[in-house]
Amino acid sequence: MSTTVTKTLQATFVPPTAHKQTKLNDLLETYRNGLQEAFDSGASTMSAVSDIVTPYDLPYQAKAALCNYVPKLRKTYNAQELDNEHPLRFTNQAAKFDHSDEREHEFTWWVPRPGRGTNFWIPLRINPEQEDLWHDLVSEDAKAGEIRLQKHRKNWVLHVTVEYPVEEPATDGDITYIGLDIGETALITGCALKDGSPTDPFVCSGSRAKHLRKEMHTTLKRLQERDASEWRTGERFDHYQNALADIVEKASREAVKYAKQFENPVLVMEDLTYIRERLDYGKYMNRRLHSWAFARLQGRIEDKATEVGISVEYVNPAYTSQTCHSCHRIGRRDSQAEFRCPHDDCHVSTFQADINASANIARRVDPWGESVPLDKVERDDSPRDGSGSDTATTHREQSETPSQMTLTAFQESEPSSSDD
């Protein structure tokens, strides 16, 4: 089974040459004039709009977009007057993109212009989070929809709507729960549970992210002490943010790849809204990742999992690192690396702490799974959205997953100084 998802890709033009800049400005002005005339005329059908915009010196993709858009302006949006800042719209016939990893900016767009032989390529700065989808767009695995080009004070921004198929999560067969513990020493520790036992754990090192974060903190602090220009500070901040975003991309890809090897995998992560309700959030995050990176990493794992039909569940994170995954009683985590179960009747004495935590996270989604035989449980009677008392599962609210950390947010935060 598959279903279709729509997303909007965003890219900024690499600053065009003066020559291209003029052509883009002309194109936008002509488009806005055509839009204004068609709107003012009260044309309410595609053919009426077409009669008006045909003489304009515009590429056919922009004229076709006007024919679609203008009738909707009055009918659907009930617009009384036009906003001055309308973006230039094109139909998906203008979705001609190219990719080469030999260029500094790997993706380019073939800007449509009126007349033969007048189009030109513009290099794009894409959002690195959307790189996979840009590749899908170039290879036509994803289908382009409308394209909008907006001129801002300092740059040109392109929006491309894309549709792509995703697999629907499997619902039958044996489910493998995979806990993901997100931390600082190990960025991600993944652990699948098979018959309640941790199986083939996966570790993605956090040393590079940690190093970058410290370096970023030192560099920015020094720049601020020296009263460096806002531009210079912002530029360094962007540099580190992009490097961290790359790490997040790679780590999330690895985690989903790990999950895919298991039968009917379901990813389980900690729901931090539980932590936010308590006052120790800052303390909790300090021994973890920066909260921005944490939220972003979870968000990217969820996106990538959804794309390949793997569902994601969130559980209450209380005591996941202090509980023994085997006997489920409280033990100790005296060091970052090691969990110790003090109970004599438990076969676990010490265990790698992050793997213990991720096994607990996986188990928590289905707390009955290992102690009650599956066939004796009326599994369908229990709501799985957190409203039942017999399940600890929740679906995370889609509220505050920052896609970008701001410089201000950074300045208000301090990196962890623990454990090294």
Smallest separation, CB 286 to Zn ion (Å): 27
341 binds Zn ion (CB under 5 A): yes
Smallest separation, CB 364 to Zn ion (Å): 16
Coil, helix or strand at residue 393: strand
Binding Zn ion (rule: CB under 5 A), the pick from 326, 360, 393, 394 is 326
Indicate the residue among 341 and 392 with the shorter CB distance to Zn ion.
341
Please answer whether residues 252 and 301 qualify as being in contact, where contact means their C-beta atoms are separated by less than 8 angstroms: yes
Stretch that binds Zn ion, among 12-20, 131-139, 255-263, 321-329 (CB under 5 A): 321-329
Indicate the residue among 123 and 369 with the shorter CB distance to Zn ion.
369
348 binds Zn ion (CB under 5 A): yes
Please answer whether residues 97 and 137 qualify as being in contact, where contact means their C-beta atoms are separated by less than 8 angstroms: yes
289 binds Zn ion (CB under 5 A): no
Work out the number of other CB atoms within 10 angstroms of the CB of residue 54. Answer: 12
* Alpha carbons 122 and 133: distance in angstroms, whole number: 19
User: 420 CB contacts (<8 Å, ≥6 apart)?
Assistant: 210
Smallest separation, CB 179 to Zn ion (Å): 17
Smallest separation, CB 335 to Zn ion (Å): 17
Indicate the residue among 243 and 348 with the shorter CB distance to Zn ion.
348
Stretch that binds Zn ion, among 14-22, 59-67, 280-288, 344-352 (CB under 5 A): 344-352
Stretch that binds Zn ion, among 144-152, 216-224, 333-341, 387-395 (CB under 5 A): 333-341
Indicate the residue among 9 and 359 with the shorter CB distance to Zn ion.
359
Smallest separation, CB 342 to Zn ion (Å): 8
301 binds Zn ion (CB under 5 A): no
Stretch that binds Zn ion, among 115-123, 140-148, 224-232, 320-328 (CB under 5 A): 320-328
* Alpha carbons 181 and 183: distance in angstroms, whole number: 6
Indicate the residue among 16 and 201 with the shorter CB distance to Zn ion.
201
* Alpha carbons 242 and 131: distance in angstroms, whole number: 13
Smallest separation, CB 347 to Zn ion (Å): 7
Smallest separation, CB 316 to Zn ion (Å): 20
Smallest separation, CB 391 to Zn ion (Å): 23
24 binds Zn ion (CB under 5 A): no
Smallest separation, CB 357 to Zn ion (Å): 14
Q: What are phi and psi of 337, to 5 degrees?
A: -90, -20
- Placement of tokens 């979705």 in the chain: 95
Indicate the residue among 88 and 324 with the shorter CB distance to Zn ion.
324
Long-range own/partner contacts, residues 93-101 (CB < 8 A, 24 or more apart)? 93/60, 93/61, 93/64, 94/59, 94/61, 94/62, 94/147, 95/137, 95/144, 95/147, 95/160, 97/134, 97/137, 97/138, 98/138, 99/134, 99/135, 99/138
Stretch that binds Zn ion, among 23-31, 51-59, 229-237, 319-327 (CB under 5 A): 319-327
Edge-to-edge strand list for the sheet holding 156-167: 88-90, 143-151, 156-167, 2-13, 120-126, 107-111, 97-99
* Alpha carbons 204 and 191: distance in angstroms, whole number: 12
327 binds Zn ion (CB under 5 A): yes
Binding Zn ion (rule: CB under 5 A), the pick from 324, 353, 361, 405 is 324
355 binds Zn ion (CB under 5 A): no
Indicate the residue among 318 and 327 with the shorter CB distance to Zn ion.
327
Query: Could you tell me the two tokens for 143?
Result: 């289908």
- Residues that contact Zn ion, how many (by CB under 5 A): 6
Query: Could you tell me the two tokens for 354?
Result: 């992050």
Long-range own/partner contacts, residues 401-405 (CB < 8 A, 24 or more apart)? 401/295, 401/296, 401/298, 401/299, 402/292, 402/295, 402/296, 403/129, 403/296, 403/299, 404/241, 405/241, 405/290, 405/292, 405/293, 405/296
346 binds Zn ion (CB under 5 A): yes
Binding interface with Zn ion (CB under 5 A) = 324, 326-327, 341, 346, 348
